[in-house]
Amino acid sequence: MSSTSGKAIREIKVAHSPDSDDAFMFYGMATNKVRVPDVKFTHTLCDIETLNRKALDGFYDITAISFHAYPYVQDKYALMPSGGSMGEGYGPMIISSRKISPDEVVKHKIAVPGTMTSAYLVLKLFAPNVATEVVPFDEIIPKVLEGKYEAGLIIHEGQLTFNKSGLHRVVDMGKWWRDKTGLPLPLGGNVIRRDLGPELMAACCGALRDSIRYALENRDEALQYAMQFARDLELQMIDKFVGMYVNERTLDYGKDGREAIVKLLEMGHAAGIIPHKPDVEFAIASAAIPAN
């Protein structure tokens, strides 16, 4: 297939989670509100732990990953300068069916959404010796309610809905991290394959930045788009969750945001959780062309 310019159309495989924040930020790209000349973006939706594992093989050209996964794929991918989700004093939570102290809860096995998630990394920094078991993220709350686990580590929209089930928050990892470091907690970002070359990488990074900007400037329509992927949540709840994780920092990490990524990964490496020495490198973005 060729474009009106006569050049062959380049397909760029994009993957992200179906969570409200990801769907919101990719809205512009997914609906061709933002485009790159001679490039066709194709989108695949997977849960974040699957995306982390796929990135080990360099399967997608652009993919959302947990920041924890970055040192494992840094030879193949660079971080895109936009698209990060960070907790500003909030983040993944340890929840339990009863009121329990943080010191006591880590003596029990905790259900976690995946060992490559950033939530797992910060949990292990918080409690290095805690026992964990991987459970699909959307099954953690039900399993804790069933009594299969004393506690669970919840991510995504569960951070807003857990109390409706009568569960108790034991530790907010984002608050713990902020108290410890004074920094936001890096959770998920987007990476791009290095072998696309500097020009195409820059154009794609610009497209993602402009897609996020388009969604922020056209919030209602982007939220309606994100709703189709939401897990039985009301629009008000989706709007709140998106506001937590898609904002001006998602457009640009800022100095402290970039510092936070480096610090989290270096602490993980120093603690022996991450075997690879992190080498955080950001790609450079150029402008994309918005659709008329």
User: Which residues are the active-site residues?
Assistant: 156
Closest CA to 59 of 42, 76, 80, 39: 76
Residue 6, number of CB atoms within 10 A of its CB: 7
Residues in the chain: 292
Please tell me the distance from the alpha carbon of residue 54 to that of residue 258, in angstroms, as a whole number: 24
Phi, psi of 41, rounded to the nearest 5 degrees: -90, 125
Q: Which residue in this structure is represented by tokens 């006569």?
A: 6
Please tell me the distance from the alpha carbon of residue 15 to that of residue 44, in angstroms, as a whole number: 5
Closest CA to 190 of 238, 250, 256: 250
β-strand partners of 152: 95, 111
| 143 in Cβ contact with 194 (< 8 Å) | no
Closest CA to 200 of 284, 279, 84: 284
Alpha helices in 192-287 (DSSP H): 198-217, 219-227, 235-245, 248-251, 254-270
Q: Which residue in this structure is represented by tokens 């951070």?
A: 159
Please tell me the distance from the alpha carbon of residue 216 to that of residue 210, in angstroms, as a whole number: 10
Q: Where are the beta strands (DSSP E) in the chain?
A: 10-16, 34-35, 39-45, 62-66, 77-79, 85-87, 93-96, 110-112, 132-134, 151-154, 168-172, 185-193, 289-290
